[in-house]
Amino acid sequence: MSKTKLAFFCQNCGYESAKWTGKCPGCNEWNTFVEEVIVKGTDKAERQDWKELGGNSSVKTVLINDVTSAEEKRIISKDIELNRVLGGGIVAGSIVLVAGEPGIGKSTLFLQIGLQLNHVKTLYISGEESEQQIKMRADRLGVKSEQFFLLTETNTQTIFKEIKKLQPELVIVDSIQTLQSPYVESSPGSISQIRECAAELQRYAKETNTPVFLIGHITKDGNIAGPKILEHMVDTVLQFEGDRHYAYRILRTLKNRFGSTAELGIYEMTGAGMRPVTNPSEILITQKEDELSGIAIAATIEGMRPLLLETQALVTQSVYGTPQRTVSGFDLRRLQLLLAVLEKRGGFHFGVKDVFVNIAGGIKVEDPSIDLAIVCALLSSYEDVPMPTKICFAGEVGLSGEIRAVNRIEQRIAEAEKLGFDKIIVSKYNAKALGKLKFGIDVVALGKVEELYQYLF
């Protein structure tokens, strides 16, 4: 017989404790422990793992020098943005967690990817929607596939029985929070259920070399729902994000064992599904007829791809005692740092001004190379003088007002040249590295923020 026991789990990190504690010893958070009923199966005959449903248990230790290193086998999907984000395609035997807000388009995207893979036998497991709902969405996408199978089930044992019969080459689970293992006596979505279901799917993926996509929910704080260990267990974590008021969605890599973690895929949400955006620079730069103050173009890099973004700033006289500092898509502390540099090194009195900064297109940027464009947008709005339209910027600003060099400057210059810009302003320390390279665009090298002001205004 099974022995039933109670345990307490930290909702933040998944730490297990025999009794309730105020402070979690694992992550030092307060009041995060919840009580759950756990059934530890002691009788082997009682528990049917996926191995009994067709697994392979030939395991032995090997010397590392005897292991032959080879390129991992990948399934190349028809979605070029997904291929880029995963590092070149879907790796056989990998387990990928995709998280995002409700209604952002996770289910639509992966239903579309599964339907497009008409040469791969795909099983789509839905615990949230009925077969009719999925069929309606598939009809709207307008993609037909003879190799796409549906299963609406939440019990993991039933799922593995169906998997044994079907032998799929790709499994998509929507979502991991709805699955329920019979070996854990708690409700679906609880810490122990998510951990147990993910562990069963991980064993299946590794032992059959079948890639598995887990679609996950996020909490109101923006973190992936469930224990932190879920992110450690999987090979790749993708964040699907975007503003509901914009048509664009961003697929960002947070962790990837088979590629870069700085990659970014951009999609446009349309009535017929997600359309991959191959040239995001054109959509992120607003086409405008009049010259307006407070706008500067930044040449940034996301992963392997260069992007040109529009940075917007508005500087107005402060009506109240305390000036406002409002940002969208940029780090507020970084803005305060840049304002302090302009105040100290340039003598501009931003201390009595309200400052608003926005990155156009609803995109969030962490690359410090957009500092120079932000500074130019702020100065342009402060002086109310429009910037020349065919000029862009790539440089980091230091605390002493110097313009610092940024990496992979050649790619940024090439992207600016491709989009028809006449001039790019970079750090003079970057110009040394460029040497005698010839570009069809004028490269202006400056060393200080004061020089930049004199050059532009």
pTM: 0.74
- SS3 of 451, please? helix
Task: Give yes or no: residues 142 and 255 share one domain.
Answer: yes
Is 97 contained in some domain?
Answer: yes
The number of domains in the chain is 3
HEC secondary structure over 360-393: CCCCCCCCHHHHHHHHHHHHHHHHCCCCCCCEEE
CB contact at 8 A, 367 and 302: yes
Instruction: Please say if the pLDDT value at position 449 is more than 70.
Output: yes
302 or 157: which carries more pLDDT confidence? 157
Residues 242 and 377 placed together within one structural domain of the fold: no
Lowest mean pLDDT among 29-33, 234-238, 278-282: 278-282
- Using only the alpha carbons of the chain, give its radius of gyration: 26
Q: Specify binding-site residues for ATP.
A: 100-107
Alpha carbon separation from 2 to 41, 43, 47, 48, 182 (Å, rounded): 5, 7, 10, 14, 12
pLDDT for the residue numbered 188: 86
Q: Are residues 295 and 363 in the same domain?
A: yes
- Domain end marker among 252, 277, 302: 277
Convert the pLDDT of each residue in 179-221 to its tens digit. 999 888 888 888 888 989 999 999 999 999 999 999 999 888 7
* Residue 62, domain member (yes or no): no
Can you say which residues are annotated as belonging to the binding site? 100-107
Q: How many other C-beta atoms can be found within 10 angstroms of the C-beta atom of residue 407? A: 13
For residue 175, cis peptide bond before it (omega within 30 degrees of 0): yes
Greater model confidence, 244 or 222: 222
DSSP 282: H
Q: Among residues 228, 231, 48, 42, which one has the least CA distance to residue 156?
A: 48
Q: Write the DSSP assignment of 284-309 as a string of letters.
A: HS---SS--TTEEEEEEEETTEEEEE
Q: Domain of 203?
A: 73-277
> What would the mean pLDDT of 371-382 be, rounded to a whole number?
95
In this structure, what CATH number is given to the domain that contains residue 376? 3.30.230.10
Domain end marker among 213, 243, 277: 277
Provide the 3-class DSSP secondary structure of residue 196: helix
CATH of residue 204: 3.40.50.300
Distances, alpha carbon 446 to alpha carbons 98, 385, 439, in Å: 42, 20, 17
53 within domain boundaries: no
- Does one domain contain both 253 and 319? no
Q: How many CB atoms lie within 10 A of CB 33?
A: 23
Is 271 found in the same domain as 287?
A: no
- pLDDT tier at 425, thresholds 50, 70, 90: very high
Q: How far apart are the first and last CA of the chain?
A: 82
The per-residue pLDDT for 42 is: 47
Are 93 and 188 part of one and the same domain? yes
Copy the structure tokens of residue 381.
Answer: 């709005």
Same domain, 272 and 291: no
81 and 155 part of one domain: yes
- The full DSSP string for 141-182 is HT---SSEEEE---BHHHHHHHHHHH--SEEEEE-GGG-B-T
Residues pairing with 239 in the sheet: 99, 252
Q: Answer yes or no: do 263 and 294 share one domain.
A: no
Torsions phi, psi for 112 (to 5 deg): -65, -45
Which carries the bigger pLDDT value, residue 280 or residue 364? 364
Among the candidates 245, 277, 309, a domain finishes at 277
Tens-digit pLDDT profile for residues 7-17: 888 877 778 88
**Cβ neighbours of 321 (radius 10 Å):** 5
* Contacts with 338 (C-beta within 8 Å, 6 or more apart), sequence order: 371, 374, 375, 378, 397
User: Do 310 and 361 contact (CB within 8 A), yes or no?
Assistant: yes
CA distance 43 to 127: 29
Q: How confident is the model at residue 249 (pLDDT cuts 50, 70, 90)?
A: confident
**Token pair of 380, please?**
């342009």
Mean pLDDT, the chain, whole residue set? 87
265 and 292 part of one domain: no
Residue 437 shares a structural domain with residue 355: yes
> Does residue 45 surpass a pLDDT of 50?
no
Q: How confident is the model at residue 224 (pLDDT cuts 50, 70, 90)?
A: confident
41: pLDDT strictly greater than 70: no
Q: Cα–Cα distance between 161 and 323 in angstroms, integer?
A: 63
Q: Is 8 helix (H, G, I), strand (E, B) or coil?
A: strand
User: Is 51's pLDDT higher than 70?
Assistant: no
pLDDT at 56 over 60: no
